[in-house]
Amino acid sequence: MRISIFGLGYVGAVCAGCLSARGHEVVGVDVSQTKIDLINNGKSPIVEPGLEELLQQGVKTGRLRGTTDVAGAVLETQVSFICVGTPSKKNGDLSLDYIEGVCREIGFALRDKAERHTVVVRSTVLPGTVKDVVIPIIEDCSGKKAGVDFGVAVNPEFLRESTAIKDYDFPPMTVIGELDSASGDLLETLYRELDAPVIRKPIEVAEMIKYTCNVWHAAKVTFANEIGNIAKAVGVDGREVMDVVCQDHKLNLSKYYMRPGFAFGGSCLPKDVRALNYRATSLDVESPLIGSLMRSNAGQVQKAFDIIAGHDKRKVALLGLSFKAGTDDLRESPLVELAEMLIGKGFDLSIFDRNVEYARVHGANKDYIESKIPHVSSLLDSNFDAVIDKADIIVLGNRDELFAPLAQKAPAGKQVIDLVGFMPKATHGNAEGICW
C-alpha cells in the first residue's frame, strides 16, 4: 500500500519504519527539514531501540523517503496517517494547532486528487475531535464530502517508548474507528498479518478507547504506589503484595468489575475500602486515589437518583434491592440507599426482589430487614406484574435475568432506567442507561 505519514515524531517515525519493513511504500512528511534529512539518510529522529535499522532498510530498499511536500505526498499515496503532536494547554485541554494545520494542507491537496483517499488520525485526540474539527476542515478545504469522496478513520496507537517496535509487531489489539466501512476495510488490510484482534468501532468510541487505556494505566500506577506506601508503613513489602494481586487473572485483571454501571456495595468492598483508608490516614500516609473511592461511589447513587428525578414522574418500580442478583444480602446495598433517597423525596415507590422477599419470610436476613430497613422492606411486593403495571418509571437495579426483557423492549408508556447494562444499545426512546 502507498502510505503518507504526517509528523515524524515518536509515533510517526516508528510507524514509518514498521510499515516500510512490512513492504509498504511510505512517504514521511514533516515541516522540519532536519527530520526529513535524517529519515532520507536512514537515521532516526528519535531514540528508540531497533528503529534506525528499520529506517535504514526502508531507505535502502526505496520503500521509505521523507519530504516537506504535502501535496505531492497526498497525491502519490492512498492513505494518510496524521501523527502530529497534541500538546497540553495550560488549562489541561489539548492544543489542536498541529492537527488543524495538517488537515488544512491535506484538504487543499485533495482538491486536485481524483482517486479516493483515506485520512487516518493516529494522534491522540479527545472524543468528538475528528467529527467536530478534522472532518469540517478537510471538507471545507477540499470541497469534498467525508465518507463519500474521501475516507476518514481513527487508529489509536498503543506504543510504549523503548519497546515501540515490539508493541507494533505484537499488539494486544488493533482498534479502528471508522466513519465509513470502506475506510475500515482499507485499514484492516494493514493489520491482518498481526496476531491480534482487529476491533472496528465508530470514530468516537475509538477516540475514547485511547484515553480510557491511558488513564487506566495512570490509575494502576497510582493505585500500586498508594498500596506500596501503606504496605511499607505497616512493615510489608508492597512489591510482594502487588505481584500476587497481578497473578489473579480471573477477577483482578478481568472485565468482571470493569464495566460501567451502578455503585458497588455488599459486606466487603465498602467496609474494606473504608478500613484501609482509615489505616492509611492513621499512619499519615497520603492515598488520595483510595480515599476518593467511597465519594465517587456515592456520586454514582446520586447520579441514578438524578436520572429518575429528571423524568418528572412519581411512580417508580425498583427491580432489585440486594446489591447484586442471586443473593439476599442487603448490607450496604446501594439500591437500599437509592430507595431511601426516593422515599425521602416523596416518590411513590414499589420494590420487587424475589431473593429479598424470600429472606423476609425465611432467610437469615429477616431480622436485618425488619429492624434496619422496615420503611424500605414495607414497600416490597411479591407480584412482579403488579409492580410493573402501576409504575411510570421502571428501574433495573441488579442483574436478575427476570428483568432483562424490559431493557430489550420497554413497556408502552413507561420509562426504563437501566443501572446494570441489560440494554443492547445506548440510551434511546424510553430506555435510558446510567452510563450509556
Catalytic residues: 268
For helices 135-142 and 97-110, angle between their N-to-C axes, nearest 10 degrees: 30
Q: Write the burial class of residue 121 (CB in 10 Å: 0-12 exposed, 13-18 middle, 19+ buried).
A: buried
Report yes or no: 174 and 18 within 8 Å, Cβ to Cβ: no
The reply, when asked if residue 346 is annotated as ligand binding, is no
Edge to edge, the sheet with strand 2-6 lists: 64-67, 25-29, 2-6, 79-82, 117-121, 150-154, 174-178, 198-202
Classified as helix, coil or strand, 136 is: helix
HSE-up of residue 195 (Cα within 13 Å, Cβ side): 2
The reply, when asked if residue 68 is annotated as ligand binding, is no
The reply, when asked if residue 217 is annotated as ligand binding, is yes
The reply, when asked if residue 365 is annotated as ligand binding, is no
The reply, when asked if residue 256 is annotated as ligand binding, is yes
Residue 394 β-bridge partners: 317, 416
The reply, when asked if residue 262 is annotated as ligand binding, is yes
The reply, when asked if residue 315 is annotated as ligand binding, is no
The reply, when asked if residue 10 is annotated as ligand binding, is yes
CA gap 153, 184 in Å, rounded: 7
Residue with cell 532536519: 34
The reply, when asked if residue 368 is annotated as ligand binding, is no
CA gap 1, 186 in Å, rounded: 10
The reply, when asked if residue 239 is annotated as ligand binding, is no
Closest by alpha carbon to 109, among 70, 140, 78, 148?
Answer: 70
Residue with cell 496507537: 157
The reply, when asked if residue 271 is annotated as ligand binding, is yes
The reply, when asked if residue 361 is annotated as ligand binding, is no
The reply, when asked if residue 225 is annotated as ligand binding, is yes
Report yes or no: 297 and 263 within 8 Å, Cβ to Cβ: yes
The reply, when asked if residue 241 is annotated as ligand binding, is no
The reply, when asked if residue 313 is annotated as ligand binding, is no
Q: Which residues are annotated as a binding site for GDP-alpha-D-mannuronate?
A: 161, 210, 214, 217, 225, 256-257, 259, 262, 265, 324
Q: Which residues are annotated as a binding site?
A: 10-11, 30, 35, 86, 124, 161, 210, 214, 217, 225, 256-257, 259, 262, 265, 271, 324, 331
Q: Which residues are annotated as a binding site for NAD(+)?
A: 10-11, 30, 35, 86, 124, 271, 331
